[in-house]
Structure 1
Amino acid sequence: MDVARLLEDGREIVGVDLTEVSITEHLVEDGPPYIFRDCDLTKAGFGGASLVRASFEGCVLERADFRHADLDGARFSGGGGAGARFGQADLVDAVFTDVDLAGALFEGALLTDASFTGCRMVGAVLSGCRGTGYRFTGCNLMLADLIGCSLRGVRLEGVRFDEANLSGVDFTKAVFSECRMINARTVETVFTDADLRGVDLGEVDDTRLRALRGAVLSAAQAASILAERGLTVL
């Protein structure tokens, strides 16, 4: 396949198998954003690419390499990106919708105002991500690594953080709705003025209880925590 000709002839690439192809060197910066639709991009190389406002619709992105790429305003919808690598990428205003990102690697990525909706992110690594204002809605972040992330003031709806590593995450003034945080690791996690009334906390041991200092809890949550310590609230 003549990849260079394919990418030069059109900005919309549909149904093409680009497995393990190094694509960055063939991209043309001038012109409208690229659209990749229903393509197999398994292990494809986009490292350092300029993909501002690009769209990836229903593509297979397993272990694709987007490290250091400029994905400002990019759109990812449907498809699977298990194990995809986004380390140090610029994902400002990027939108991920209904994408399987299990085990995806985002270490050090710039996520300012990025959004993840309906994504499966089991075991994803977001440690050291930069920026603020990024948000998760209806996402499964079970077993994910969010060490040091900033989620200050965001609204989190339908997010599952069970067994995730939330050490050092800043949840100051965050609001949770229909979320789960069972057995999550919360060493040095900041919950100052965070509204946790919409979180299933599961069992809260003494270590987790200390981490919750400054958070807003419901009466039912407080009663459950006390009951675990042999106290009854009437």
Structure 2
Amino acid sequence: MRRSLPLEADTTIRSVSWDGDDLSGQEHHRVEFVDVDMTEATSSRTVFSECTFRGVRFNVSTHTESAFLNCTFVRCSFFDATFTGCKLVGSTFNDCTFALLKVDGGDWSFAGLGHADLSGTSFDGVRLREADLAYTNCRRATFRRVDLSGASLRQTDFTECDLRGSDLSALDPRETTVKGAKIDFTQAITIATALGLDVSPG
């Protein structure tokens, strides 16, 4: 079911069910969503700008080429949610859960994911330039072909994480846990150089 709600700025939507709804084409600016159920909702080219989501359930929802620009997410659940080609530039996440989250492409630059538990999640071909991933748990996650240039990776845990093809120029292995992580040869040279090693042909 597709629902169109013309909303004015500084509006609050509280305790409604959008379970299974099609939100495609909607635009929301400076709207606060509180305890909204978006389980299994879908969106395509939907735009949320400067919105706040509190206790919103995005479980098993699917979003394609939608934008969540400079939004704030507090205590939201993203269980098995899928974001394909979406923009979440400048958005911040506080006390959210991300089990089985899948992100394919898109731009999450400047996103605030510090201290988040991203273990087991999948990011493929995503731009995370200058994102905050400090103290984030990325154990056994997938970060393939991800642009992490300029990202904050202090005390990030990449244990057994698949990092192949990603830009690791901001990664300092002395401040980041990378035990058992999968990397390619080019990345190995980048990390060795960061440690001050002189990599040269034998």
TM-score, normalization: structure 1? 0.77
- Computed over aligned residues only, the root mean square deviation of the Cα atoms, in angstroms, reads 2.1
Please identify which structure carries the higher helix content: 1
Aligned ranges for residues 45-60 of structure 1 at < 5 Å? Answer: 45-60=12-27
Answer yes or no: is the 8 Å Cα contact 2:153–2:170 preserved in 1. Answer: no
1:90 aligns with 2:90: no
Aligned with residue 213 of structure 1, among 162, 178, 182: 178
Answer yes or no: is the 8 Å Cα contact 1:160–1:179 preserved in 2. Answer: yes
Counterpart residue identity of residue 19, structure 1: L
Higher RCO (C-alpha 8 Å, min separation 6): 2
Answer yes or no: is the 8 Å Cα contact 1:129–1:148 preserved in 2. Answer: no
Distance 1:170 1:73 in 2: 26
Percent identity, aligned pairs only, is 24
* Aligned residue-pair number: 199
Distance 1:192 1:13 in 2: 43
Deviation at 1:209, TM superposition (A): 4.1
Aligned with residue 231 of structure 1, among 192, 195, 198: 198
Change (3 A) 1:212 1:161: farther
Distance 1:43 1:119 in 2: 24
Deviation at 1:193, TM superposition (A): 0.6
Q: Which has the larger radius of gyration?
A: 1
Distance 2:87 2:166 in 1: 19
Aligned with residue 39 of structure 2, among 68, 72, 75: 72
Match of 2:143 in 1: 176
Distance 1:147 1:138 in 2: 20
1:19 aligns with 2:19: no
Unaligned ranges ≥5, structure 2: none
Deviation at 1:90, TM superposition (A): 1.4
Aligned ranges for residues 125-144 of structure 1 at < 5 Å? Answer: 125-144=92-111
Answer yes or no: is the 8 Å Cα contact 1:50–1:71 preserved in 2. Answer: yes
